[in-house]
Chains A and B, each alone.
Chain A
Amino acid sequence: MKDFSEDHAPRQHWLGLMAKAPMGRVATLLDETVTRPAFTWLRAPEVGSTMVRARAGATGSPFNLGEVTVTRCALTLATGEVGHAYVQGRSKADAEAVAMVDALMQTTAATTLQVQVLDVLDAEQAAKRDARAAKAAATKVDFFTMVRGED
């Protein structure tokens, strides 16, 4: 990860976790946990794109692979905390929920949200990843050598 430091690491992690959540999931978990506080838009939700880059031969020079849809927004709580969201897809409601959690993670609500939103997402994504990996593992070829009839 670029510019990875102790300070950024947790925020980097939760923003990434929420960006990869299924549609509507962050909002559902957020609303089950807290009542959303008042906020003002710093940047209202906006749908756009990001150019995905890759490297020739996986490790060589970068090239442009194609774009992905992204929704972003930023909001400020009445208490001053700023929340950001950059989320794959075109769901403005998802971006809003992510920015709200991001802002609330800078408040005293952080501990509760960690347990009831972020840890839940983490577990769900791990389970989904593991389920897929287990299906892939079942398609792994076990080669064996036939007994050769040379004597």
Chain B
Amino acid sequence: MYVAVKGGERAIENAHAWLAEERRGDTSVAELGVAQIREQLALAVNRVMAEGSLYDPDLAALAIKQARGDLIEAIFLIRAYRTTLPRFGASLPVDTGKMACDRRISATFKDLPGGQVLGPTFDYTHRLLDFKLAADGEAPKAATREAVHGDVPHVTDFLNHEGLIEEAVHDDTTPPDLTREPLEMPAERALRLQALTRADEGFTLGMAYSTQRGYARNHAFVGELRIGAVPVEMDIPELGFSVEIGEVTLTECETVNQFTGSKSEPPQFTRGYGLVFGQTERKAISMALVDRALRWEELGEDNEGAPAQDAEFVLYHADNIQATGFLEHIKLPHYVDFQAELELVRKLREEAGANRVPEAAE
């Protein structure tokens, strides 16, 4: 028997009204503005843009406010909004060699041209709570020093001169787009990188960490990590040439991985690549490690059966919106499903004679 049940409308309406009130919190405390979130919770904004797969700091800040700081809920809002936008086209591939770097470090080359530029980093802080931030204070001011202008070359270029590192060979094939076609296996590297750059940070971090702990260990060093702004350039058909339409801040991580050679490749350093919207360092490093682990097949490495080598496992579980959608749907009404389960269990118990009253212990 199928029974349609109605009657939740008023409860739902009132639940949403209460949600709005709770979101606002104590009204004797000043309301948080979207611009405050954008400026002062910038790394949360960056994560929402990266995993929401839409670069728009104001929208991401609004989503964080609406989601009461639940970043996965905020990412969900951004993904939903994204689907309403007409797609004007695709940009030319951004040139990270032309990045205006806020930060650029290498763990492998101390004296790299351009130097080790730390940028606004949490590294080397003592991780002690700063109670001054809880009090109103003067706006802090950064130190300055005369800058050297010009493009900052990638660290891997130096190793390339010696032929010690695999090259990332330039081509101009049109990449597949998982927002247009469902993600299917086997997934080529372009598709894997698209899935990883919008993947959940925690999941990607866990996968990357597993490779460091020995599950498909690939001995990664951070060859280079850079954060900064790059222009976005796009062909404009009505003009007949390309134009810079804006600028995005990106975090790029290139790992240099030990590789003793395989049947198909000589001993050399191999590479993993991470590139993520915003200042999102942990995610970019994680992405590079997972990218490298997933390349085992093309590099002729053994399949150790490690989770991080399994593209299907990684890519089908990395998207936090898909994951949360399926996970959280089980809390929604399943009365009819459950009724059927109940009937089944009762029947099985009857057959097993489990319904007898248990005898008292002696």
A residues touching B (Cβ–Cβ < 8 Å)?
A: 1-5, 8, 11-12, 15-16, 19-20, 46-70, 72, 74, 84, 86-90, 129-141, 143
Contacts and interface: CB of A to CB of B under 8 A. Distances in A.
Given A51-B87, A62-B190, A69 B56 contact: yes
Given A55-B93, A55-B168, A49 B82 contact: yes
A138 B190 contact: no
Given A65-B94, A66-B55, A136-B117, A2 B232 contact: no
B26 interface: no
Interface of B: 49-50, 53-56, 58-59, 82, 85-94, 96-97, 100-103, 110-111, 115-121, 142-149, 154, 156, 167-179, 189-191, 193-194, 197-198, 231-236, 238-248, 250, 252, 254, 271, 273, 275, 277
A46 B89 CA distance: 14
Given A50-B88, A84-B236, A57 B254 contact: yes
Contacts of B246: 19-20, 68, 70, 87-89
A58 B91 contact: no
Contacts, number: 246
B88 A48 contact: yes
B193 A56 contact: yes
B85 A67 contact: yes
Nearest to A47: B85
Nearest to A42: B238
Contacts of B240: 3, 8
A57 B159 CA distance: 14
Contact of B110 (A53, A63, A139, A143): A143
A143 B112 CA distance: 12
A50 B56 CA distance: 12
Centre residue among B91, B191, B273 by max chain A CB count within 10 A: B91
Contacts of B233: 1-2, 16
A21 to B, nearest CB: 10
Centre residue among A2, A12, A52, A140 by max chain B CB count within 10 A: A52
B241 A135 contact: no
A139 B177 contact: no
Contact of B94 (A4, A46, A53, A139): A53
B117 to A, nearest CB: 5
Contacts of A20: 231, 244, 246-247
A137 B146 CA distance: 7
29 contacts: A2-B233, A2-B235, A3-B240, A3-B241, A19-B243, A47-B85, A48-B88, A49-B54, A49-B87, A49-B88, A50-B234, A52-B90, A52-B91, A54-B250, A55-B170, A66-B197, A67-B55, A67-B87, A68-B91, A68-B245, A89-B56, A133-B147, A135-B102, A136-B117, A136-B147, A137-B147, A138-B144, A139-B119, A140-B145
B128 to A, nearest CB: 21
A48 B83 CA distance: 10
A125 to B, nearest CB: 10
